């Protein structure tokens, strides 16, 4: 199975032009377990638990954390030679284990012994990429080709999402009602949206793109990437190809959304050859470079794979290259949510930066509109008034 690519290079500290960095407001926790080998990564986080994998005793083992490196619990099933948690949600973890030389989709409920295989009869391999706690999404391979699939806790509960005419397909995310992923149409990957059946397939692929994938979703939006002139651009949709929004930061070489929660998107943007973990809030200019919050031990590359928005805190998990140890280490970033209603640039304050966002965006009929302070979808006099009323707010 492919691992997240974390490349080595010089740290790039420049930020997107015109955006205000939040790097100083984020804190980070290294989740790399004591005694683990060269690699670990956290792919998903809830408010209290992170899921991913760590290399322990020379073997990549699925596991969960509860906010600290020492809390790592191995979920590696008996008889497996490799395993990963791809998502944790609703007290359940979804992922895969390499058993008998083939990857097998499966779920856990917090212990290695709780492993349940979702691997369908007749499949050569399978992987679960997402779960809500009740529904899982992933892929099962038949005849050498992947078919997007959902399950409801058992191998027998598999539903085939594979669109008619596609060469192969993958489901990468689910919210229990809708699923996202991609399908190969001809020689091109098309970002895809389903509502529980193959016949419900919606093609999110924008005109002119050379490839696209949808990876994550909320109730209203889908996120992933779109290749423009062969370059991946972080992407946001709201149910159709025509709604594509380009989140690509102006200074980035490439970018992608890996996870979504509420109004936020998490993923990576590449600067000067090296990936930087980051968070957006619906626009390219809102990209917040999480790499800047790391210590000087992490001078190379990082990526965000999961995000959770709680009542008072945002959590983002992923991995970063530690240049001191040479290890790729699971990382958990956190920051408090702003309590200033007019804080459009998420720096914790309502000030001239927020006022300038409204003024420069005035008249936007969106959504999304960066200056939409009152949440009604556009930027107008009510948003300007909201900023002026809240001006000077500090948490």
- Residue 341: band (very low, low, confident or very high) from pLDDT cuts 50, 70, 90: confident
DSSP code for 249: -
Mean local confidence (pLDDT), 230-246? 97
Burial 1-21 (b: 16+ CB within 10 A, else e): eeebebeeeebbeebbeebbb
Per the rule left: phi > 0, alpha: psi between -120 and 50, beta: everything else, 86 is: alpha
- Residue 348: band (very low, low, confident or very high) from pLDDT cuts 50, 70, 90: low
Q: How far apart are CA 336 and CA 310, in angstroms?
A: 9
The predicted-structure confidence for 113-127, as pLDDT tens digits, reads as follows 999 999 999 999 999
Average pLDDT of the chain, as a whole number: 91
- How is domain 25-338 classified at the CATH fold level? Methylamine Dehydrogenase; Chain H (2.130.10)
- Residue 367: band (very low, low, confident or very high) from pLDDT cuts 50, 70, 90: low
Q: How far apart are CA 343 and CA 394, in angstroms?
A: 9
Mean local confidence (pLDDT), 307-319? 94
**Poorest-confidence range of 97-101, 296-300, 377-381?**
377-381
Q: Cα dihedral angle (346, 67, 274, 236), rounded to 10 degrees?
A: -50
**Model confidence at 8: pLDDT above 60:** no
Mean local confidence (pLDDT), 290-318? 95
- Domain 339-395 sits in CATH at 1.10.1330.10
Q: How far apart are CA 369 and CA 245, in angstroms?
A: 11
Domain boundaries, the chain: 25-338, 339-395
- Residue 366: band (very low, low, confident or very high) from pLDDT cuts 50, 70, 90: confident
Q: Are 224 and 214 in contact (CB under 8 A)?
A: yes
- The values of phi and psi at residue 158, to 5°, are -65, 135
The model's pTM: 0.84
pLDDT of residue 339: 66
Mean local confidence (pLDDT), 128-141? 98
42 versus 312: which is more confidently predicted? 42
% of residues, the chain, pLDDT over 90: 82
pLDDT of residue 376: 80
pLDDT of residue 191: 98
Residue whose C-alpha is closest to residue 105's, from 114, 116, 113:
116
% of residues, the chain, pLDDT over 70: 92
Q: Are 141 and 123 in contact (CB under 8 A)?
A: yes
Residue whose C-alpha is closest to residue 73's, from 109, 29, 43, 23:
109
């Amino acid at each position: 199975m492919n691992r997240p690519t974390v490349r080595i290079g010089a740290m790039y500290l420049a930020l997107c032009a015109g955006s205000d960095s939040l790097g100083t407001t984020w804190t980070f926790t290294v989740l790399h377990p004591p005694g683990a080998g060269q690699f670990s990564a956290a792919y998903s986080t809830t408010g209290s638990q992170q899921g991913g994998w760590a290399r322990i005793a020379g073997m990549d083992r699925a596991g969960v954390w509860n906010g600290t490196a020492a809390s790592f619990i191995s979920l590696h099933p008996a008889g497996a030679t490799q395993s990963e948690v791809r998502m944790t949600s609703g007290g359940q973890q979804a992922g895969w284990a390499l058993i008998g030389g083939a990857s097998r989709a499966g779920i856990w409920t917090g212990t290695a012994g709780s492993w349940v295989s979702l691997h369908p009869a007749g499949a050569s391999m399978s992987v679960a990429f997402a779960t809500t706690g009740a529904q899982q999404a992933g892929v099962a391979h038949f005849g050498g080709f992947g078919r997007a699939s959902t399950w409801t806790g058992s191998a027998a509960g598999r539903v085939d999402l594979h669109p008619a005419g596609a060469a192969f397909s993958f489901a990468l995310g689910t919210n229990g009602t809708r699923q996202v992923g991609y399908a190969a149409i001809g020689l091109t990957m098309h970002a895809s949206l389903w509502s529980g059946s193959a016949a419900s397939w919606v093609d999110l692929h924008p005109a002119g793109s050379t490839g696209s994938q949808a990876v994550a979703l909320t109730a209203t939006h889908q996120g992933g990437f779109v290749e423009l002139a062969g370059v991946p651009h972080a992407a946001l949709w709201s149910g159709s190809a025509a709604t594509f929004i380009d989140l690509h930061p102006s200074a980035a070489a490439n970018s992608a959304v890996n996870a979504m929660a509420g109004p936020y998107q998490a993923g990576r943007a590449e600067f000067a050859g090296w990936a930087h973990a980051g968070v957006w809030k619906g626009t390219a200019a809102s990209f917040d470079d999480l790499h800047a919050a790391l210590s000087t031990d992490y001078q190379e590359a990082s990526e965000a794979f999961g995000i959770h928005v709680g009542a008072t805190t945002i959590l983002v998990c992923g991995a970063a290259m530690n240049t001191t140890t040479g290890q790729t280490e699971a990382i958990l970033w956190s920051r408090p949510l702003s309590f200033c209603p007019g804080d459009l640039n998420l720096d914790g304050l309502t000030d001239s930066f927020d006022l300038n966002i409204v003024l420069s965006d005035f008249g936007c009929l969106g959504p999304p509109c960066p200056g939409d302070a009152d949440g009604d979808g556009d930027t107008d006099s009510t948003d300007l008034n909201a900023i002026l009323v809240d001006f000077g707010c500090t948490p």
